[in-house]
Amino acid sequence: MMTAIHTEHLTKRYGSVVAVRDLNLVVEEGEVFGILGPNGSGKTTTILMLLGLTEPSEGRVSVLGRDPVREPLAIKRRVGYLPDTVGFYEDLTGRENLRYTAALNGLPPRQREAKIEELLATMGLTDAADRPVRTYSRGMKQRLGLADVLLKEPELVILDEPTLGLDPQAAHEFLSMIRQLKGQGMTVILSSHLLHQVQAICDRVGLFKKGEMALVGSVQELAQRVLGGAYRIRLRVIGNIPTERLQKLPGVSRVHRSGEVVTVEAERDLRPELVRAIVEADGDLLEVGLEETTLDEVYRTYYGEVSDDAA
Amino acid sequence: MTRREGSAFTGMRVVFFKELADLLSGSRMRFLEALVVLTALGTAYAAIQNIKNTVGEDPFLFLRLFTTAKDPLPSFVAFLGFLVPLLAIALGFDAVNGEFQRRTLGRILSQPIYRDVLLFGKFLAGLTTLAMVLTATWLFVTGLGILLTGLAPSGEEVARSLIYLVAAVAYGGVWLALSMLFSTLFKNPATSALATIAVWLFFTVFWGMIAGLLAPALSPVRYGFPDEVLRQAQVELALSRISPTTLYAEATLAILRPEVRALGPVLPLQLQGMVLGTPLPLSQSLLLIWPQFSGLIAASVILFVLAYVIFQRQEIRA
Ligand SMILES: Nc1ncnc2c1ncn2[C@@H]1O[C@H](COP(=O)(O)OP(=O)(O)OP(=O)(O)O)[C@@H](O)[C@H]1O
Ligand SMILES: [Mg+2]
């Protein structure tokens, strides 16, 4: 497998503000990578540096094996980018806007029209295609933006908050489209604040905090690191609850009890061991369930801790 | 030093035609066309009324169409002296900041083109639009002149008026480049438009006065020697030539009035052997306006390069 993106000590300063600090990021080809972080944590700045749209203050970037500062065109031919606030020429129609992009990418005219038609249909914009973009809603512009990104048939797409303004149905369709693109071998990098979406499609995520990518890994790995346990097992027990004993089981990181509900955080799926322990201690087990850890939880816990630190 | 790969002009054609189509179909174009047609109609008609009396006496009657004023209307060239900058400013004032405002810049610059291609494509499209409007006006006035006077222009007259046309476009290029420079400098199109108009007013109205005040300070006449007086006049002229308006006026004068033999103060010595009032041949007139013409081009180039340098360093995010 090839490396799609590789940055070393990447840093961007705006005067005294450090927007991105010492970023070392590796994204493999064919991967879907999510960039998460609070507002102003450096997500957009990172993306702009990857595209060569803003020059790094320090460090090196390699995108598809090339340097975006020295060989911007080679990269821009192969990388699609959806800005966080996507804009179009308001007096031109959606189709005309796409035509311009296609021409800038040197698509031959005959191929161009068919491709545009196809993408407009995929994005559900066929009916609006010949209306000026002025008349589009926020979400329609976002869809047009996605069509615009895919027009050049990129190997890598970088999407800054792609589902912003999309209705739930469109967002859902967008997610399945990303999966489809991944299936075709495309590398995808996206930043988003919608955690369940990120969790649904991203192979790995990076958590940004004040310009630094503090944590990176799969949701499972992050949960392990942030929540201490990647598995969360919920038990309902009446009678004797051997909290002490559960705590001592190998692999258990935390036991929490409230009333008859016991929540155990563990590194592994310890359901059999837990059930055995409770039964042996004469507890009456009513329910056992594995709770899936959500990225949402990881995120809140992680950034909660961060702001606690700051306080 | 970073080496650029690929053709430097990748996408230039695409940007040019898109921008040209935008400019030509935009509503500001309708307005400008109307303004220009009215001007041409008014001044040409007035000039014809005036020169009809002198038919037969003047070998360059046709050129008088462009330079004759009749109260209260100024001559055609004087009118264009106002209109060309206005047109150029209208075509360029939102070239770059308009892209920022529409938020199209990030999207366009992530396509495989260089930033300067976008800027240069816009400049060329503006200049072409300007040239098209001025050529149409020129054809209009020429046609009107032929119809109303019943005279056909001579080959030399056509050549001279065409050279004037080129000079007018070059003059417009300066203001186009300046308005584009301000459109990269200021984030708000209204600000950039006003700033360009302010500079234009400064050079058109005030610079002449300032040159008149500065010249005595820089090169005082102490004892009243002729060479002192001459030097002061030369300094004043040199100062006034900083203004593109002066360059345009001089170029216009020399090319459309063949009897003009020199621009600026003339020494009696230089007049020796000349028959006053005899027209200069076209090649000599051309030579006379060459510095003015190059000056206009150089000014456009410098302004464009400045805009380019600023645009190149600009953050994509407004
Ligand atoms: N042109 C600029 N000049 C100065 N500071 C800037 C500039 N652009 C961004 N910054 C700063 O850089 C930091 C990172 O901004 P960035 O836009 O990358 O954040 P983000 O993670 O994308 O936030 P959001 O979630 O709101 O999109 C912020 O502190 C911001 O104020
Ligand atoms: Mg952002």
Task: Give the mean pLDDT of B115-138.
Answer: 93
> Residue B35's pLDDT band (boundaries 50, 70, 90)?
confident
Residues 6 or more apart whose CB falls under 8 angstroms from that of A251 comprise A266, A267, A268, A270, A273
Q: Rounded to two decimals, what is the model's pTM?
A: 0.88
Residue numbers in B near A90 (CB within 8 A): 102
Q: Is the pLDDT of residue B259 over 80?
A: no
Task: Give the mean pLDDT of B45-50.
Answer: 78
Query: Looking at domain A3-223, which of 3.40.350.10, 3.40.50.300, 3.40.30.10, 1.10.357.10 is its CATH number?
Result: 3.40.50.300
- Residue B254 CA: distances (Å) to CA of B48, B57, B212, B264, B282: 21, 20, 22, 11, 10
Residue numbers in B near A81 (CB within 8 A): 106-107, 110
Task: Give the mean pLDDT of A200-220.
Answer: 91
Q: Is the pLDDT of residue B64 over 90?
A: no
Q: Is the pLDDT of residue A1 over 70?
A: no
Is the CB of residue A76 less than 8 Å away from at least one CB of chain B? yes
Determine the distance separating the centroid of ligand 2 and the alpha carbon of A39, expressed in angstroms: 7
Q: Best mutation site among A60, A73, A92, A149 for testing chain B: the one with the most B CBs within 10 Å?
A: A73
> Residue B36's pLDDT band (boundaries 50, 70, 90)?
confident
Q: What is the pLDDT of residue A118?
A: 95
Residue B68 φ/ψ, nearest 5 degrees: -85, 130
Q: What is the pLDDT of residue B269?
A: 53
* Chains A, B: CB pairs < 8 Å: 76
Contact map slice: B 96-125 vs A, CB within 8 A = 102-104, 106-114
**Mean pLDDT, chain B, integer:** 85
**Which region holds residue A251: left if phi is over 0, alpha if psi is between -120 and 50, else beta?**
left
- The full 3-state SS of chain A, as one line of letters, equals CCEEEEEEEEEEEECCEEEEEEECCEEECCCEEEEECCCCCCHHHHHHHHCCCCCCCEEEEEECCECCCCCHHHHHHHEEEECCCCCCCCCCEHHHHHHHHHHHCCCCHHHHHHHHHHHHHHCCCCCCCCCEHHHCCHHHHHHHHHHHHHCCCCCEEEEECCCCCCCHHHHHHHHHHHHHHHHCCCEEEEECCCHHHHHHHCCEEEEEECCEEEEEECHHHHHHHHHCCCEEEEEEEEECCCHHHHHHCCCEEEEEEECCEEEEEECCCCHHHHHHHHHHCCEEEEEEEEECCCHHHHHHHHHHHHHHHHC
Task: Give the mean pLDDT of B279-305.
Answer: 89
For A55-59, A255-259, A265-269, B262-266, which range has the lowest pLDDT when averaged over its residues? B262-266
Domain positions in chain A: 3-223, 231-292
Widest Cα–Cα separation across chain B: 67
Q: What is the pLDDT of residue B289?
A: 87
User: Which chain A residue is nearest to residue B118, measuring alpha carbons?
Assistant: A104
Residues B51/B52/B53/B56 CA torsion (nearest 10 deg): 90
Q: Is the pLDDT of residue A306 over 80?
A: no
Q: Best mutation site among A96, A104, A105 for testing chain B: the one with the most B CBs within 10 Å?
A: A104
Residue A13 φ/ψ, nearest 5 degrees: -115, 140
For ligand 1, whether the C-beta of A53 sits within 6 Å is: no
Percent of chain A with pLDDT strictly greater than 90? 53
Determine the distance separating the centroid of ligand 2 and the alpha carbon of A40, expressed in angstroms: 7
Q: What is the pLDDT of residue A237?
A: 87
Is the CB of residue B27 less than 8 Å away from at least one CB of chain A? no
Task: Give the mean pLDDT of A51-58.
Answer: 93
**Mean pLDDT, chain A, integer:** 89
Name all contacts of B132-137 with Cβ < 8 Å and 24+ positions apart: B132/B24, B133/B32, B133/B33, B133/B36, B133/B87, B134/B36, B134/B80, B134/B84, B134/B165, B134/B168, B134/B169, B134/B172, B135/B165, B136/B33, B136/B36, B137/B36, B137/B37, B137/B39, B137/B40, B137/B80
Q: Is the pLDDT of residue A222 over 60?
A: yes
The ligand 1 atom nearest the CA atom of A12:
12
For A81-85, A226-230, B123-127, B176-180, which range has the lowest pLDDT when averaged over its residues? A226-230
Task: Give the mean pLDDT of B13-28.
Answer: 91
Task: Give the mean pLDDT of B201-207.
Answer: 91
> Residue B1's pLDDT band (boundaries 50, 70, 90)?
very low
User: Which chain A residue is nearest to residue B115, measuring alpha carbons?
Assistant: A53
Task: Give the mean pLDDT of B49-70.
Answer: 74
For ligand 1, whether the C-beta of A49 sits within 6 Å is: no
- Say whether A73 and B2 touch across the interface (CB within 8 A): no
Task: Answer yes or no: CATH 3.90.930.60 is held by domain A231-292.
Answer: no
Task: Give the mean pLDDT of A204-224.
Answer: 89
- Say whether A54 and B316 touch across the interface (CB within 8 A): yes
Residue numbers in B near A145 (CB within 8 A): 107
Q: What is the pLDDT of residue B19?
A: 95
Q: Which two tokens stand for residue B197?
A: 């108009």
Give the burial string for B186-215 (b: 16+ CB within 10 Å, else e).
Answer: beebeebbebbbebbeebbeebbeebeeeb
Residues 6 or more apart whose CB falls under 8 angstroms from that of A24 comprise A7, A8, A9, A10, A213
Q: Which residue has the higher pLDDT, A243 or B23?
A: B23
Q: What is the pLDDT of residue A23?
A: 95
> Residue B74's pLDDT band (boundaries 50, 70, 90)?
confident
For A121-130, A243-252, B49-58, which range has the lowest pLDDT when averaged over its residues? B49-58
For A272-281, B62-71, B198-207, which range has the lowest pLDDT when averaged over its residues? B62-71
The CA distance from B185 to the nearest CA of chain A, in Å, is 18
Four-residue CA torsion sign, A84, A88, A93, A95: negative
Task: Look up the ipTM and state it.
Answer: 0.86
Task: Give the mean pLDDT of B128-134.
Answer: 94
Name all contacts of B30-35 with Cβ < 8 Å and 24+ positions apart: B32/B87, B32/B90, B32/B133, B33/B133, B33/B136, B35/B83
Is the CB of residue B22 less than 8 Å away from at least one CB of chain A? yes
Q: Is the pLDDT of residue A22 over 80?
A: yes
Contact map slice: A 35-64 vs B, CB within 8 A = 44, 48, 51, 53-54
- Say whether A103 and B14 touch across the interface (CB within 8 A): yes
- Say whether B103 and A85 touch across the interface (CB within 8 A): yes
Q: Which two tokens stand for residue A99?
A: 């035509």
Q: Which residue has the higher pLDDT, A159 or B57?
A: A159
Query: Tell me: the pLDDT tens digits for A88-107?
Result: 999 999 999 999 999 999 98
- Say whether B315 and A54 touch across the interface (CB within 8 A): yes
Task: Give the mean pLDDT of A125-151.
Answer: 94
Query: Tell me: the pLDDT tens digits for B299-315?
Result: 999 999 999 999 998 98
For A75-79, B89-93, B285-289, which range has the lowest pLDDT when averaged over its residues? B285-289
